[in-house]
Amino acid sequence: MIQHVIENYFQLREKIKSDRSLLEQTAKCVLENISNYNNDINAYLRVYDDEVLDYAKNCEIDKNLSGMMVGLKDLLCYKDHIVEASSKILKNFTSQINATVVQRIIDNGGVIVGHQNCDQFGMGSSNENSCYGPSYNGLDLRKSAGGSSGGSATAVQNNMCHVAIGTDTGGSVRQPAAFCGIIGFKPTYGRISRYGVIPYSSSFDTVSILGKCVEDIALVLENVAGKDEYDCTSSDRPVEKYFDNLDSVNFNDVKISYIKETLNVDGLQKEIHDSVVSLLNKLQGQGLTVKEKNFKHVDSLAPTYYIITAAEAATNFARLDGIRYGYCTNEKVNNIEEFVKKNRSEGFGLEVKKRILFGNYVLTSEGILEQAQKVRRVILNEINNIFADSDFIILPTTPTTAFDLNRKNVCPQESYLTDLFTYIASICGLPAISIPYGKDDNGLPIGIQIIGHKFDEQKLLSFSKKILSEVNF
């Protein structure tokens, strides 16, 4: 597809201070790309054209994010705009609030372009669980853009916004970023407020950022992170100047670990294995310390993740009954119980139903959730041991590059293992980033993941920029 290519925001923002017309040009390019190509890739569900054009003409140009075009995953509340979690159960629900992350973007001069397609409530790895159908990978329309933030990833990929704000519960920003050849960044749990984000799993959900360059992601992070009185899980740690200090890492002093077991997993695509090994060899060749580590609990990652997240989802979704808001059946019913059953059976998608049912089973079965929480602590302790003498852990983002849509005979277990490598950072609440690093034999991008220390986003972003600028050749 041929589109208008939009300039990285951190470069554009300096230029618009002396030439405001560039802001209007960028806004028009973004909207033209959406108009011309959204039908092909199904990235946006709702586009706020008039608001974007009005903003381009009248906005102040001296704020931190002035001129930034931002897309929102359809899980983030934007006041007086519809938000549906890409699910029929929330059909035409209009938000009465701004999510904190949305409010901070607006306060700092950014503009919301529209809401982007996703798997219902963030449940999925292919965007095929959306009630609006899948999003498509702009590099090959037969391929998945990933999930659950697939619409956000393909929108960034295809110049339909500078950055997109998604959510990453088990890999939902990092995996689609890898499939689309862009950058997906998940900060430490609690670094960005979750207020105003439609919840899936409250102890995992992390507001995250997709973009084409580390600089843009760093700018967004320093303007949206920080304590929020509306979210008791948000951290009160000071927010660093991530953008200004992107060159702060002392490259030669960095110590890297890689997990042996992640490079020996059945089903790991050879080109991805070779790309990770190639990067590790290059880093070692440039004088960095690179150590092999063992991780005994690879087989426990997916069960731990799905037990806890399903239990939390079942609790969170109890409020969705069609009585006060959202979808309600047109069929005649005899009582309130039947009415709620109809609303939920017609409103929720199949994958959401599966996870709610499983979550309720977990909640009503003695000891399952408690055991999973214990294993979560064991996993965290083992990762902390690896970090005792390491700055970063490097591993694949995904087992394969972008897979075909409409795959047949894919068992649920195989589908759930799509996020195997991203579960570690999610279970442990650690910051992680997926950066593009090479391509497979079919020209599809490969993502490599870097996990950092808790709340050390500065070093993680700095190191990632260094790799992209000096090692990724």
Where do the domains of the chain lie?
Answer: 1-473
Q: What is the mean pLDDT of residues 342-354?
A: 97
Asked whether 114 and 99 are in contact (CB, 8 A), the reply is no
pLDDT tens string 1-13: 567 999 999 999 9
Please report, rounded to a whole number, the percentage of residues in the chain having pLDDT higher than 70.
97
Could you give the CA distance from residue 225 to residue 150 in angstroms, rounded to a whole number?
23
Average pLDDT, the chain: 96
Give mean pLDDT, residues 231-252. 95
Q: Which of the following is catalytic: 86, 87, 125, 172?
A: 172
Q: Which residue has the tokens 């946006």?
A: 44
* 148 classed as catalytic: yes
Say what percent of the chain tops pLDDT 90. Answer: 94
pLDDT in tens, 57-100: 999 999 999 999 999 999 999 999 999 999 999 999 999 999 99
Pairing state of beta strands 163-168 and 183-186? unpaired
73 a catalytic residue: yes
Is the pLDDT reported for residue 292 higher than 50? yes
Give 255-289 pLDDT, tens digit per residue.
Answer: 999 999 999 999 999 999 999 999 999 999 999 99
pLDDT of 428 > 70? The answer is yes
- Where helices occur in 317-456 by DSSP H, the ranges are 336-347, 350-364, 368-387, 412-416, 423-428
Q: Match 């519809």 to its residue by tokens.
A: 82
Task: Name residue, tokens 């050390």.
Answer: 456
- Which of 193-202, 330-339, 409-418 holds the top average pLDDT? 193-202
**What's the pLDDT band for 473 if we cut at 50, 70, 90?**
very low
Q: Is 87 tagged catalytic?
A: no
pLDDT at 303 over 80: yes
Q: Give yes or no for residue 408 having a pLDDT over 70.
A: no
Q: Output the pLDDT for position 409.
A: 60
Q: How high is the pLDDT of residue 102? A: 98
Q: Taking Cα atoms as reference points, which of 252, 207, 200 lies closest to residue 234?
A: 207
Q: By three-state DSSP, how is residue 259 classified?
A: strand
CB 44 within 8 A of CB 71: yes
Could you give the dihedral angle defined by the CA atoms of residues 371, 375, 380 and 386, in that order, rounded to the nearest 10 degrees? 160
**Which one is catalytic: 87, 144, 148, 464?**
148
91 burial (CB, 10 Å; 0-12 / 13-18 / 19+) is middle
Answer whether 419's CB lies under 8 Å from 399's CB.
no
Strands across the sheet containing 44-47: 44-47, 111-116, 69-73, 163-168, 206-211, 183-186, 432-439, 445-452, 392-396, 255-259, 289-293
pLDDT at 471: 60
Quote the crossing angle between the two packed helices 9-16 and 214-224, to the nearest 10°: 70
pTM score above 0.85: yes
Quickly state the pLDDT bin for 450 (edges 50, 70, 90).
Answer: very high
Q: Which of 447, 436, 440 is nearest to 473 (CA)?
A: 436
Q: Count the Cβ atoms, other than its own, within 10 Å of residue 471.
A: 16
What distance in Å separates the CA atoms of residue 301 and residue 433, rounded to the nearest whole number? 19
- The CATH label, of 3.90.1300.10, 3.55.10.10, 3.40.50.1820, 3.30.420.40, for the domain at 1-473 is 3.90.1300.10
CA distances from 42 to 6, 38, 118, 128, 386 (A): 19, 5, 10, 11, 41
